[in-house]
A = this chain, B = another copy of it.
Amino acid sequence: MSGTGNHLDFYRHRRVLVTGGLGFIGSNLARVLVDLGAHVTIVDSLLEDCGGRRGNVAEIAANISLHIADVGQAGVMDDLVRGRDVIFNLAGQVSHIDSMRQPYRDLEVNCRNQLVLLEACRQHNPDVKVVFAGTRQVYGRSQTLPVDESHLVRPTDVNGINKVAGEYYHLVYNDAFKVRGCSLRLSNVYGPRQLVRHDRQGFIGWFIRLAVEGKTIQIYGDGSQMRDLVYVDDVADAFLRAGATDVCNGEVYNVGGTEPITHRDLTALLIEIAGSGRVEYVEWPPAKKAIDIGSFYVTSEKFAGATGWRPTVTLRDGLERTVAFYRRHLPDFLLDEIRSAV
């Protein structure tokens, strides 16, 4: 985790709720919060294909309060938001592809459930601070690079639309109802505990799994499209900073990496680090091409200026840690795969 200072001290004895806390980013954030002495409550519905796993919090299970429930259940949320100082709101459906197949489900999870959470706060805990996990997806294709927060929002899929609606709700509840909130538009996050069971939640986790398994990584087109990647511990630190200051209220911030890289170079680096896997270049599948966004990377200068945050884990270092994690734990994640299939 990057940096030290007041934003870490802030969390000692704080009562914190993490929605989607069994998922990739939520569980990494919860681990840090436990270390910082926060009282951590997690709510997660273990929605299929969203990356939630009980195993993600196995090592902190004794130190957290865990509720398996849907954020869309108003009665449950009314109780869960009471008395919290900060809510890290990471519950959501994150697959672009699934949202185009099942738009109503995506609407429920990413729009309606956000309203339920915010209404619960408005009615039962208006003094809470909510930090929402937004996504760079809301920008769609980049018109200028790097993308900053003045870039137009033009999602290319249903998931991006519903995610930006969920984000806007937080801003309106901040402005009109004084339920303090802000949104971090996350770029391509990677690291331990990421869903690697299928390839429908972003390419990076899937590529890492294939490399670790010594399999073939397929790259669509020539691999020249660029992305910025940010390690999950740096993202957890971004949430902690946003939650600890009122400077961020009512604002959206990009949170991304510092070193944009092509798919081609990224894959080469990954295979080198893993010492296994190989690459194959293939034609774009039409369904993926239809919602592809070309090269895309963000600048996080606005957030750096507001909070002092900087990513501190280099891509090489982050990939080494992640590969090491999956070398050890991939069997557990594959066991989940078998469980899910039966």
Residues of A within 8 A of B (CB): 100, 103-104, 107, 111-112, 115, 119, 150, 152-158, 160-162, 164-165, 168-169, 171-172, 175-176, 290-291
**Interchain CA distance A165-B112 in the complex, whole Å:** 13
Q: Are A290 and B165 in contact (CB under 8 A)?
A: no
Residue of B nearest to A116 (CB): B104
Across the A-B interface, the 4 shortest Cβ-Cβ residue pairs: A161-B168, A165-B165, A176-B290, A103-B115
Partner of A111, one of B100, B107, B155, B175: B107
Q: Are A176 and B156 in contact (CB under 8 A)?
A: yes
The secondary-structure label for the interface of chain A is helix
Residue of B nearest to A157 (CB): B172
Q: Are A161 and B152 in contact (CB under 8 A)?
A: no
Q: Are B150 and A172 in contact (CB under 8 A)?
A: no
Q: Are B112 and A107 in contact (CB under 8 A)?
A: yes
Partner of A175, one of B104, B119, B176, B290: B290
Most central of A152, A156, A168, A171 by chain B CB within 10 Å: A168
**Interchain CA distance A291-B177 in the complex, whole Å:** 10
Q: Are A161 and B165 in contact (CB under 8 A)?
A: yes
**Interchain CA distance A169-B155 in the complex, whole Å:** 9
**Interchain CA distance A290-B107 in the complex, whole Å:** 27
Return chain B residues, CB-CB under 8 Å to A160: 168, 172
